[in-house]
């Protein structure tokens, strides 16, 4: 990408394995083997575990459950390599610059009761310094995108796993109303370029702000 920005892209369908879920976020209706470690969460109870059971738009996704070997294959081939790639990239940035910024990009349906077209999540302050999400909202607003912080989306497993502001790694989840850049049939609309420029601006401006904070520390 231009400006030296990097990207890690999950190419496997989220219906097959969701990289924004922890390995133990397992819906027992889909993976029935009780020997596999699991924990109950709001998401798994709603059918949105590491292998989703259903969606609001499509209903049930699977005709039968998935065995432990099938789950392990999906973890080995998709989930673990994806997170390893993110971790390696962040470690390299911290080693070189003393800090790193992770923007975990997602689309969202029109949020009911929320006027924001962009929602930033930092797990309510756990995955980034407070000023990062505040500045992110400001950048979005300046570009004409009404923004909100942590409501209705506070961030998922990706930022929870990789965000470590105490180590210089700041992670934000970004949810963008898909109407901003897609037609109802899923084709890019007239707003596509503006959304791409928003993401680029967030990476550049927040990244530069992190570097600016590192410079005085490096000089001490």
| Res. 125 pLDDT band, cuts 50 70 90 | very high
Crossing angle of the two packed helices 80-97 and 192-219, in degrees rounded to 10: 50
pLDDT (mean) for 119-136 = 98
Topology annotation, domain 99-220: Aminopeptidase (3.40.630)
Please give the pLDDT value at position 217: 59
Q: Is the pLDDT of residue 220 over 60?
A: no
Determine contact, residues 170/127, Cβ cutoff 8 Å: yes
Q: Could you tell me the two tokens for 1? A: 């990408």
More confident residue, 48 or 207: 207
Report the alpha-carbon distance of residue 51 to residue 27 in Å, rounded.
7
Please give the pLDDT value at position 122: 98
More confident residue, 87 or 34: 87
Residue with tokens 């899923």: 186
What are the φ/ψ torsions at residue 128 (nearest 5 degrees)?
Answer: -160, 155
Query: What ranges do the domains of the chain cover?
Result: 11-97, 99-220
- pTM exceeding the 0.85 threshold for the entire prediction: yes
Beta-carbon count within 10 A of 34 CB: 7
| Res. 219 pLDDT band, cuts 50 70 90 | very low
* Apex 19 CA angle, 96 and 199, nearest 5: 55
């Amino acid at each position: 990408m231009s400006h030296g920005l990097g990207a890690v892209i999950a190419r496997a369908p989220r219906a097959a394995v969701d990289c924004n879920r922890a390995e133990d976020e397992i819906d027992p209706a889909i993976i029935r083997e009780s020997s596999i470690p699991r924990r109950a969460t709001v998401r798994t109870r709603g059918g949105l575990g590491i292998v989703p059971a259903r969606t609001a738009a499509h209903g049930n996704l699977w005709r039968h459950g998935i065995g432990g070997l099938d789950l392990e294959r999906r973890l080995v081939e998709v989930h673990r390599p994806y997170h390893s790639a993110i971790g390696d990239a962040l470690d390299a940035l911290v080693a070189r610059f003393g800090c790193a910024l992770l923007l975990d990009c997602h689309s969202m349906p029109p949020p009911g009761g929320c006027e924001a077209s962009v929602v930033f999540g930092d797990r309510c302050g756990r995955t980034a310094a407070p000023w990062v999400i505040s500045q992110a909202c400001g950048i979005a607003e300046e570009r004409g995108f009404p923004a909100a912080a942590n409501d209705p989306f506070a961030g998922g497993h990706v930022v929870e796993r990789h965000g470590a502001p105490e180590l210089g790694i700041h992670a934000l989840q970004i949810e963008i109303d898909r109407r901003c850049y897609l037609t109802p049939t899923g084709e890019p609309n007239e707003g596509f370029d503006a959304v791409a420029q928003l993401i680029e601006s967030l990476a550049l401006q927040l990244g530069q702000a992190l570097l600016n904070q590192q410079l005085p520390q490096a000089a001490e």
